[in-house]
Chain A
Amino acid sequence: MALRRGFQDHFDWPLFVTTAAISVVGVINLYSASSAAGGALRDVYIQQIYWLTLGAGAAVLVAAVDYRHFERFGWVAYGVGITLLVLVFLLAREIRGSQRWIPIGSFSLQPSELMKLFFIIALAKHLHNDPRTEGRTLKDLIIPGLILLFPLMLILAQPDLGTALILVFVFCTIMVLTHLKFRSLATLVVTLAASAPMAWEYLLKDYQRERVTSFLNPEKDVLGSGWHAYQAKVAIGSGGILGKGFLQGTQNQHKFLPDQHSDFPFPVWAEEHGFLGSVVLIMLYMVLVLWGIKIASEAKDRFGAVVAVGVSALIFWQTVINLGMVCGLLPVVGITLPLFSYGGSSVLTIMAGIGLLMNVSMRRFHF
């Protein structure tokens, strides 16, 4: 009974409308992005509809259960996520030099996507159960650090730099919520800065280093590793104010955009709908993220607040990094644009995340 009343009275319409708008626009854009491609990619937009529907179902389920149950089973979820990540190494096929997918029938599951949510929940549970308000020291960061570390290592080993990066950014955003002592913060920053060259040397693969260098020096190698970024810029820039029109983008239709359905759907949109279309889309993402923060600020407990911030951060960072990458502000990393990029696991994860936001939002008047 409580559930039905909650849905009726407190259903978060702005959240729903924004999400739906992005999803619909995304499908339309995928239709254009895949119209030039042949073969199996031709109907990814239909598959995307399936995934969105499935994701909507998942969101309803996630929203229906009081989120405090998630808090109780936080560690379990975390454990399941880690297990799946380990399973990747046992079961996965290698695609383009990395193992990310577990085949399930004709589908393949990308556990690193789901892990994003499990990680947020686990971190939220930890902070929820550690209700201090005084400044934290480095010692207090050990457990959150460990919560991050296990999935991070497993994901880096796949290797999937993009997802790992998102995990780190989401972690940092959530930790910003808590109060860290200045000295601890300083120590942390100095240590990280000092270890950056080490990471460059040992953690990054050659192709990743190449992407960074080609980003820093884009004119050097337009047709090598800078090709993707350059053609994306051409697509966006040639769109102009109003764009070339639906299905009329030459960069897209003539296949100059690589991965236009996964990592580069935004240039397709920007080319065909121009600056105005782009701004509308970015506004939608902005509303979604800001609305997530609003939900966090109105949450009744720490768990809800952390989860809402975590999901918002997830959406925010993926959006900003993907857009920054396609318009040449950031180096190329494989990070998808939420609900815009084609991808089952990605859509499911974001939709489930939206479900979590809805959950927190609807229960702000409870207990």
Chain B
Amino acid sequence: MNLLSVRREVGEFRKRYKWMVLFVLVAMSTIMGRLFQLQIMQNARWQVEAERNITKVVRLPATRGIIRDYKGRIIAQNRPAYNVYVTPQLVGEEQLNALAELLSLDADAKQRFAKRMESVPARRRSHFVLAFNDITRDQYAAIETHRRELPGLNVVATPVRSYPFKALGAHTIGFLNEVSAEDLKRLTGLGYGAGQSVGRSGVERAWESYLRGKDGELRVVVDVQGQELDGTPHRVAQHAVREEPTPGLDLRVTLDMDMMRAAERAFRGQPSGGVAVVDIKTGRVRALYSKPGYDLNEMGGGLSELRAKELFENPFRPLIDKTTYETYFPGSTFKPISAIAALQDSIMTPSVHYDCPGYYELGQRRFRCSHVHGDTDMREAITQSCNVYFYKLAEQVGIDRIAAYAREFGLGQKTGLGINTEASGFVPTRDWYAKNHNNKYHLGFTLNTAIGQGDTRVTLIQLAMLYSAIASGGALYVPQLVERVEQADGSIVEEFPPRVRRHINVDPVHIALIKQGLLGVVNDREGTAYEARVEGGVIVAGKTGTAEVSKHKLNPREDPRREWYNRRAHSWFAGFAPADNPELAIAVIVEHGGQGGKFAAPIATSVLQDALGGGDPNKNKPLLISKKP
């Protein structure tokens, strides 16, 4: 054994061992401490994390409620759109090519898709990501056939909104589009997520919470690749959950799409304007037509940049709701208010006569009338729209009394329609004029106000409600747009009765006189809308208006070539029918149309005739060359 040398100088090492043991104990204890922290103290947190890892949530969109008009015709419904979801992690070159072929994408679209898949952040790569929106049925069929070859791909049928009436009533009905980041902030806690739609305007927006319903979700168990796992039933049973969506509620709106059609038809030849029709006995809105409109079906998200630009730059402003958002000078349609102010406060009697020489002189200024009316009483002044009569009336009544009645009839305040951004309009007072004109009120303001010029501004719906109140003898309603909320089976969830805003205290005798005047407008030979009457049809009463547009306030960006158009007066008609037992009140504006009697009034009588008289009474008569008597 001398081959193997023995050296025993191990004593030097001895003192080190206990330090080593100590070090080992400390190190191992540290690890165990860490495990204690992870596995026992933070257990709940990591369990959630592990659970989240293996669950993939697929949203099951709720069906949005259907909107019907008051006769039950569908205004807004849902159709299935097939959306393709892919798991970016599983989309390789091969899958990309296959998908491009199945969807018959061109090279450009394919590249855009590839780029989009690349840009998906890492944390979402194992999740379903929306790849294609609303593919065609052919594309859908192609994908379904080759489903097996495309792992991590899912086609989800999502209901999308469809509007059979397209552009008709677009502003009132409204549309949906995808929620923005701002919306998400505003709507936190309501279950909105990226990629979902939210009502953007009109009824769709205002009644969002009823229409929307509640999304369901499907949780599937997946592995790290995002692949669904089968063959592990006990674990799937533990995690896979299907929560069915709750469909949204249906709405029955008060609109009558026939009447909307009639308004559209009556408006042909005029590029821009609006019609509002309300039911006098209930305040229910039967028509709100704003021209030009836009096709609701294209607003849902597929709006191309070019089309959006077109809409924005169209000089007839299709995006503006001319029934509730835009305000106008009421022009002569305002005169009944001045008359009521004079009569009700006993300033004048209807039998007072004035002579109209065609103008009225006040100091240095000469206020014009449309022509020489001669000797007129109040009824005639309304029928013939004599400005001079109302100048003289205004002198006695005063601006504040007129303003008070204007407000009483709902001007200067929102009507409470409840959709979109409603304008309040404006009713000027003596104080307001003083404040805004260097403390110098003068009588001219009052004269202008009495005939609906000056600074009074109204919306179409306000005017319709005002004439409805006149027709009903003083009942000012809140315009109502939604009649009831229903479930899919038709059972009623909630019903909204008509709401009277206030009963205006006006002597029926005075109302009767005003109505006489209004009847004359359309039916007397001297009436300003006599030309617009429908021979043998429904008898309409109403008032024309020709609202001068301000000559000074032209938008500097406006195309000078359009100046002749933009400076032409707005054409008004407001009234009701049938004259003896009023059912419907109407307000029509033809923007820059010119004289009220010539342009707005025929539209109004045509719509009312269609609605109440069953169409044109002369339509079925043999065609004769008429000779004017």
Contact = CB atoms under 8 A, between A and B. Distances in A.
Given A255-B223, A296-B17, A302-B13, A250 B39 contact: no
B13 to A, nearest CB: 5
B29 to A, nearest CB: 9
Interface in B1-56: 1, 3-14, 16-17, 19-21, 24-25, 27-28, 30-32, 34-36, 38-40, 42-43, 45-47, 49-51, 53-54
A178 interface: yes
Interface stretch (A110-118, A211-219, A275-283): A275-283
B86 to A, nearest CB: 18
Interface in B176-230: 221-225, 229
A233 B46 contact: yes
B625 interface: no
B20 A293 contact: yes
A176 interface: yes
B interface residue count range (under 10 / 10 to 19 / 20 to 34 / 35 or more): 35 or more
Nearest to B238: A250
B30 to A, nearest CB: 7
B17 A297 contact: yes
B123 interface: yes
B50 A250 contact: yes
Contact of A300 (B6, B12, B38, B50): B6
Contacts of A274: 39
Given A234-B50, A293-B24, A302 B7 contact: yes
A133 interface: yes
B24 A289 contact: yes
Contact of A270 (B14, B35, B222, B224): B35
A131 B9 contact: yes
Contacts, number: 158
Contacts of A282: 28, 31-32, 35
A237 B123 CA distance: 20
11 contacts: A72-B3, A133-B11, A234-B49, A236-B38, A241-B40, A254-B223, A274-B39, A278-B35, A282-B35, A296-B13, A320-B27
Given A237-B49, A293-B20, A297-B17, A131 B39 contact: no
A313 to B, nearest CB: 8
A106 to B, nearest CB: 30
Interface in A261-304: 270, 274-275, 278-279, 282, 285-286, 289-290, 293, 296-297, 299-304
Contact of A241 (B8, B19, B39, B221): B39
Interface string B223-263: 11100010010010000000000000000000000000000
A279 B123 contact: no
Contact of B7 (A128, A275, A290): A128
B122 interface: yes
A270 B25 CA distance: 20
A222 B123 contact: yes
A148 interface: no
Contact of B21 (A128, A270, A290): A290
Interface string A316-332: 10001001100111000
A320 B54 contact: no
Interface in B300-325: none
Interface string B93-124: 00000000000000000000000000000110
B195 to A, nearest CB: 21
A interface residue count range (under 10 / 10 to 19 / 20 to 34 / 35 or more): 35 or more
A279 B8 contact: no
Contacts of B45: 237
A107 B33 CA distance: 39
Nearest to B1: A367
Contact of A297 (B7, B14, B30): B14
Contacts of A68: 4-6
The 6 lowest CB-CB distance pairs between A and B, nearest first, are: A237-B46, A238-B50, A68-B4, A223-B122, A131-B9, A237-B38
A239 interface: yes
B484 to A, nearest CB: 50
Nearest to A274: B39
Given A68-B6, A237-B42, 20 more contacts: A66-B4, A131-B7, A131-B9, A233-B46, A236-B35, A237-B38, A241-B43, A248-B235, A253-B232, A275-B35, A275-B40, A279-B32, A286-B28, A293-B20, A293-B24, A302-B9, A304-B10, A316-B24, A316-B27, A367-B1
A324 B28 CA distance: 10
A183 interface: no
Contacts of A69: 4
A327 B13 contact: no
B47 A238 contact: yes
A250 B53 contact: yes
A14 interface: no
A174 to B, nearest CB: 10
A304 B1 CA distance: 17
Contact of B31 (A222, A309, A327): A327
B28 A367 contact: no
Nearest to A249: B50
A224 interface: yes
Interface in A228-257: 231, 233-241, 248, 250-251, 253-256
A58 B222 CA distance: 44
A302 B13 CA distance: 8
Contacts of B39: 236-237, 239-241, 270, 274-275, 278
Nearest to B17: A297
A9 to B, nearest CB: 18
Contacts of A72: 3-4
Contacts of B223: 254-256
B118 to A, nearest CB: 15
A367 B4 contact: yes
A179 interface: yes
A4 B4 CA distance: 19
A305 interface: yes
Contacts of B51: 250
Nearest to B39: A275
A177 interface: yes
Contacts of A303: 7
Contacts of A131: 7, 9
A336 B171 CA distance: 69
B6 A320 contact: no
A241 B36 CA distance: 9
Given A240-B47, A253-B232, A254-B224, A286 B122 contact: no
Given A69-B4, A131-B7, A290-B24, A176 B235 contact: no
A285 B25 CA distance: 11
